[in-house]
Amino acid sequence: MMAEPAHRVVLEQRAADKIESGELPAPGGGITRAGAGSGMACDLCAHEIEKAKIEYEVEWCKGEALRLLRFHLDCFQAWIANRPQPDCQRLPRVERN
Ligand SMILES: [Zn+2]
């Protein structure tokens, strides 16, 4: 069993904020590639994506411009987690009081 990724919640919230403000597109479309880190800044957490790490690249057509988004694996997953869903398709983590 994996450790609870507490920072994941933070990343997902940050992604939601950026989607809301228009800094990031809503996830879903676009061409996604995974590859070696480029050493460039991540579009979500703004930290450098080290060459030893996996980098996710997403091509985002914004108007006539093509923008390339870069994410860490964790950041990419947090962004994707904000994909709009028609209610719950799967149950969220159960949190009991
Ligand atoms: Zn990142």
Q: Spell out the domains of the chain, with CATH numbers in brackets.
A: 5-83 (3.30.1740)
DSSP state of 30: S
- CA 33 – ligand 1 centroid, Å: 15
Tell me how far apart the terminal alpha carbons of the chain are, to the nearest angstrom.
22
Question: 52 C-alpha to center of ligand 1: Å?
Answer: 14
Q: How far apart are CA 22 and CA 20, in angstroms?
A: 5
**C-alpha 30 – ligand 1 centre gap (Å):** 19
Q: What is the pTM of this model?
A: 0.77
The better pLDDT of the pair 96, 21 is held by: 21
In angstroms, the CA 79 to CA 16 distance is 7
Q: What's the rounded mean pLDDT across residues 4-32?
A: 88
Distance 64 CA to ligand 1 centre (A): 26
Compare 38 and 3 and report the one with higher pLDDT: 38
70-79 pLDDT, tens digit each: 999 999 999 9
Q: How far is the CA of 81 from the centre of ligand 1 (A)?
A: 14
